[in-house]
Amino acid sequence: METRSEQSFDTDRIDSNQKHPVTSDGMSAWIMPLAKRFWLIILLVFGLSSAAIWAIPKIVIQNDLMFMLPEDNAAKNHYLDAEELLGNAGGIAIAIQSTDGIYRVDLLERVRELAARCRALNLRIPAHQLGLRWGLSSEHALALAGILQSLSSDPDFTPQLLTELLAEPTELAEVIGDSLPALLTVDDTDRFSLGLADRLAALAAANPVFPGDLAAFAHQTTDRRGHFKNTWVDKVVALTETDTVWPEFTDYGGIAEAVAPFGIPGGPDLERFVAQMLEAGAVGPDAILQYYATRPKPADISEAFWSSLAGALTPEAVQALGEALVQAPKQIRVGDLVPREITTDSMARIRQRLRAWPFLQEGIYSQDEKSLLVVVRSAPNLDQPNRELLLEGVKEEVTQLFGDGRYGVHMAGYSIVDQAVAENMRQDIVRLLPLVFVVVTLFLFCTFRNPAGVLYPMITILLAVGWCMGVMALLDVPLSVVGTAMPVLLVAVGSAYGIHLVYYFVHRHAGTSDPSAAMTDTLDGTGRGVVMAGLTTVAGFVSLVFNDIVPLRDFGLFTALGVFFALLVSLLLIPALLIRFGVRAPAHQRGAGAGLGSRLSGRLIRGISRISYQHPKKVIALAVLVVLGSIAGVTGLRVEMNNIAFFKKDTPIRAADTFINGNFAGTVDMRIIFTASEANGVLDPLVLDAMERLGHTIKAQYPQVGKTLSVLDLIRKMNQAFYFNDPAYYRIPGISDLAGDRSNQALKAHLASYIDKFQRDDTRAFIDGEKRRAALMLQIKTASSEVTRDILHTIEKLLAGPLGQDLERIGVQVHTTGIGALYVESEQMIVSGQMRSIAVSVVIVLVLVTLIMRSLVYGLLSILPLCMAICINFGVMGLLNIPLDAATAIAACVAIGIGIDYGLHYLNRYRLYRRAGHGHGEAVVQTADTTGGSICINALAVAAGFSVLMFSTFVPLVHLGFLIALTMITSSAGSLTLLPAVLSLIDRSRLTSSMDKE
């Protein structure tokens, strides 16, 4: 939001004491022929605005991490591949807190019902879409979704078959009856099926494209790569949905015979007692005695039997019982951790099984056993629109089951953060855009005290913002988090060009009888300054196009387009309006603006200018000290990608994330994937040893890693079950544990048999079916890319040593992926893109300024204060611990585009005074008197405009608003101090005379 005093605008004229007049810009020759065609311009503006208004509602908010990375990015494609192979490692995390503990019938029943309802969303989501699209009742829509799901799974299904089926209501009714979903209850199946068949047949008869549309709906995909049809929920992980492993007796006869001589009766009590001892791993004599002495009586064992054991468990009896337990026939059972029927009596068994497997702790229940975690794992690579549909469905089910407040509920995870970001983006736009409009309007009113001075720049802003957003919508370019700042930025920046023209016209030609001539003079007097400011600002934003981060690239391109629109409207529409309607002379001609400028360009600015040109070496030395101090601050600058850090600490989503990370293993995943060339290759002892060593080292070195999970946990548990659940056998078996063939291949086959005893759904996240690929999963308690980067470096270091060499020798490749790895990839791209964008923007601006001012020296001088300001910007970021992220990365390029104006106008005015014959000192003071005040006003005005971002709900945008405001202040201060000092040194070398002649 820039404005300049009258003298600053008049870039090619100087005061009456000038010695050599300077010719005008000649901009009017280009613009006036168009500006005079008022109705043509109005028609064009109306047409473009109408198109924008039609398109804007179509704009999509996109804050997916996948969207940030280019399609050909290797890290992104590794992640997508891993998702398809091993399933989604993350998901929607729902923590349910119970002050009375987790072993409650009501709580577990609700959790089981929640899991069932979440799985049912694979039908309910498409049913809802079908109902809305074709006006079906909820029951008919649910049944139709079931039919389409059944038909689409048939490889021979075609649209033609569906068309033929819809033409035969009787046959269709039979298909409907056979395909009714289990969650749909109807009183009369035949009547219901026939009613739906008639309804569908009627729709097909009335609309010939209905069968084709229905077939397309059945084949619609929900993932980014188009591989998964109508699938939203892949799996629900919860205590009630988890399997575990335990040994159980298949025949108790031998045990009963062995203990009968010692007075221990057979029957159900004995069977339950020995079954529980077996599951607890208490099969030796000492373990049996310890088990009986330390455990309370199980609820399902009678008091009489339990009491009788006190005298019956003699050393002889215990010895006989232990031998019988070892010899009794057994089987390994993989089954539900929580029984189908949840009762109070079953809680002890649930507790025992939970505590018996460390794999489950902090994964599905908290260490204090007062919170449960339900994770709804979405279909692999589910795209953002479908993630939103899933999240809405899950939230609705959570509210219905846990909305009574009996249990505390905390939700976190990637999808939750994405949705919260989108909601806050909408809130920011709705709240901040009017606020910045108010700031600009008040500034214009205080400056002009004239309706035209307020209305015309505001029209420019509205059109620029609307057209820019309209083009984004028409080109299907989504609005990202960074893009939230775009409308605010365009309002703050785009008003400048209209202000220049209106200000000049109002203060020189208000009330004129010849507005056309007045407009010609206005364009000749300010045209070059307006175009120069506009093009350099566009250049600053265009430099972001060279960034690999997609949202930053889009932000730079479309903000540059918006600035260009503002420049174009200012040069065409505002002149047309001023020619058509003119402007009445204000009550206090030149009073408010001139008075304000005069106050700001008084003794203080002149004094600073005199000091600067009289003591240039001291000023330059001070500037060097400031730069050196800033460089010291830069050493503390950190790069960070952390979506949860977008939110302020007191927000509910931060509280939920903190709770889940504090009580469970973590909400951010990383996968270390091992790939072998042959089947069972990842079960080689060297690979398993590498997994174990990597997991142990990382867990020990980084407290932020809550848990490491892998196929090792499954093998250990199965091995323990084979050895009577003895805790000593919770380990990976070696060749020495084998009977018979003790080769490496035999061991791999033995381990594969262990894994295959689990259900495939339980092992998919850790190993593929052929055992060629396996994953070591790290669960991390923070989304900080800084932490993840350190972990990745440690992994790389370990793999570069003997561990990695052993894997390479047997042909096993290793790479790391996961959300955490993508954060690090984005961070690295931000750093490289930032450096590239700054370099490109500086070069572009330098070339533009050099061409416009026809002097390379002046071009270099114009960017000097700006370079110092950018250095200060990064130094302050380091000192204040403001991270370089997707939002703050654009601060420097924004500052280059906008802040260059201060140096430009100072040098342009200084050069005019030198050309008019003034000496260096006099030119510096006169420049301070005329342009210095407007530079201060400009800097404060722009800073005020961008300060609106400090009211954003996003922490990075708060930082962005502060940093740009700071850069405006420092770049303007540098223009008023550093430039006079450097010009003094140049003057002493007698270069200024040659520069002024260029």
Q: What is the pLDDT of residue 164?
A: 83
Q: What is the pLDDT of residue 618?
A: 86
Q: What is the pLDDT of residue 512?
A: 74
Bridge-partner residues for 244, per DSSP?
A: 335
- To the nearest whole percent, how much of the chain has pLDDT over 90? 34
Residue with tokens 């200060």: 872
- For residue 440, pLDDT over 60 is answered with yes
Q: Which secondary structure element, helix H or strand E, spans residue 383, and what is its range?
A: none
Q: What is the pLDDT of residue 25?
A: 47
- For residue 813, pLDDT over 80 is answered with yes
- To the nearest whole percent, how much of the chain has pLDDT over 70? 93
Distance in angstroms (rounded) separating the CA atoms of residues 578 and 794? 66
Q: What is the pLDDT of residue 594?
A: 45
- At 37-67, the pLDDT tens digits run 889 999 999 999 999 999 988 888 777 778 8
Q: What is the pLDDT of residue 587?
A: 53
**479 — phi, psi (to 5°)?**
-95, 125
Q: Note whether 566 and 469 are within 8 A (CB).
A: no
Distance in angstroms (rounded) separating the CA atoms of residues 855 and 505? 30
- The β-bridge relationship of strands 92-97 and 813-817 is unpaired
Distance in angstroms (rounded) separating the CA atoms of residues 574 and 644? 44
Q: Note whether 473 and 54 are within 8 A (CB).
A: no
Most trustworthy range by pLDDT among 480-494, 530-544, 754-768? 754-768
Bridge-partner residues for 377, per DSSP?
A: 235
DSSP 903-954: HHHHHHHHHHHHHTT--HHHHHHHHIIIIIHHHHHHHHHHHHHHHGGGG-SB
Q: Determine the Cα angle at 674 with ends 672 and 676, to 5°.
A: 170
- For residue 774, pLDDT over 90 is answered with yes
Q: Which of 4-13, 656-665, 779-788 has the lowest mean pLDDT?
A: 4-13
Q: How confident is the model at residue 319 (pLDDT cuts 50, 70, 90)?
A: very high
C-alpha pair distances (Å), 445 with each of 285, 309, 437, 528: 93, 94, 12, 25
Q: Residue 768's closest CA among 678, 685, 708? A: 678
- For residue 665, pLDDT over 50 is answered with yes
Distance in angstroms (rounded) separating the CA atoms of residues 789 and 566? 42
- For residue 510, pLDDT over 50 is answered with yes
Q: Note whether 477 and 556 are within 8 A (CB).
A: no
Q: Note whether 235 and 751 are within 8 A (CB).
A: no
Can you give the three-state secondary structure of 686-721, one letter per residue?
Answer: HHHHHHHHHHHHHHHHCCCEEEEECHHHHHHHHHHH
Look up residue 312 and give its two tokens. Answer: 């019956």
Residue with tokens 């430009």: 904
- At 925-946, the pLDDT tens digits run 877 776 676 677 667 777 887 8
C-alpha pair distances (Å), 828 with each of 357, 480, 786, 835: 39, 19, 11, 11
Helices 785-799 & 802-809 angle (0-180, nearest 10): 60
Look up residue 370 and give its two tokens. Answer: 């007062």
Q: Which secondary structure element, helix H or strand E, spans residue 438, and what is its range?
A: helix 414-448
Q: Which of 73-82, 624-633, 715-724 has the lowest mean pLDDT?
A: 624-633
- At 856-867, the pLDDT tens digits run 887 888 888 888
Residue with tokens 């984004």: 472
Look up residue 721 and give its two tokens. Answer: 């079950």
- For residue 598, pLDDT over 50 is answered with no
Distance in angstroms (rounded) separating the CA atoms of residues 725 and 246? 7
C-alpha pair distances (Å), 82 with each of 60, 490, 643, 811: 28, 41, 22, 20
- For residue 600, pLDDT over 50 is answered with no
Distance in angstroms (rounded) separating the CA atoms of residues 915 and 997? 8
Residue with tokens 């009968």: 260
Q: What is the pLDDT of residue 68?
A: 81
Q: What is the pLDDT of residue 702?
A: 94
Q: Which of 196-205, 349-358, 496-505, 515-524 has the lowest mean pLDDT?
A: 496-505
- For residue 590, pLDDT over 50 is answered with no
Query: Comparing 229 with 588, which gets the higher pLDDT?
Result: 229
Q: Note whether 208 and 201 are within 8 A (CB).
A: no
CA 390 to chain centre: 18
Query: Comparing 995 with 974, which gets the higher pLDDT?
Result: 974
- For residue 637, pLDDT over 60 is answered with yes
Q: What is the pLDDT of residue 514?
A: 84
Q: What is the pLDDT of residue 933?
A: 65
Q: Note whether 84 and 225 are within 8 A (CB).
A: yes
**938 — phi, psi (to 5°)?**
-55, -50
Q: Note whether 262 and 317 are within 8 A (CB).
A: yes
Query: Comparing 28 with 108, which gets the higher pLDDT?
Result: 108
- At 341-367, the pLDDT tens digits run 999 888 988 998 999 999 999 999 999
DSSP code of residue 296: P
Q: How confident is the model at residue 26 (pLDDT cuts 50, 70, 90)?
A: low
- At 322-336, the pLDDT tens digits run 999 999 999 999 999
Residue with tokens 């729902």: 94
Which sign does the torsion angle of CA 377, 381, 384, 389 carry?
negative
DSSP 332-367: EEEEESS-SS--GGGHHHHHHHHHT-GGGBTTTB-T
- The β-bridge relationship of strands 408-412 and 705-709 is unpaired
Distance in angstroms (rounded) separating the CA atoms of residues 906 and 927? 7
Q: What is the pLDDT of residue 609?
A: 77
Helices 955-988 & 933-947 angle (0-180, nearest 10): 160
Bridge-partner residues for 289, per DSSP?
A: none
Q: Which of 423-427, 486-490, 583-587 has the lowest mean pLDDT?
A: 583-587
- For residue 754, pLDDT over 80 is answered with yes
Residue with tokens 């894997």: 807
CA 325 to chain centre: 56
Distance in angstroms (rounded) separating the CA atoms of residues 179 and 200? 15
Residue with tokens 């495939």: 760
Q: Determine the Cα angle at 825 with ends 819 and 830, to 5°.
A: 125
Q: What is the pLDDT of residue 56?
A: 87
- For residue 21, pLDDT over 60 is answered with no
700 CB-near residues (< 8 Å, 6+ apart): none
- For residue 593, pLDDT over 50 is answered with no
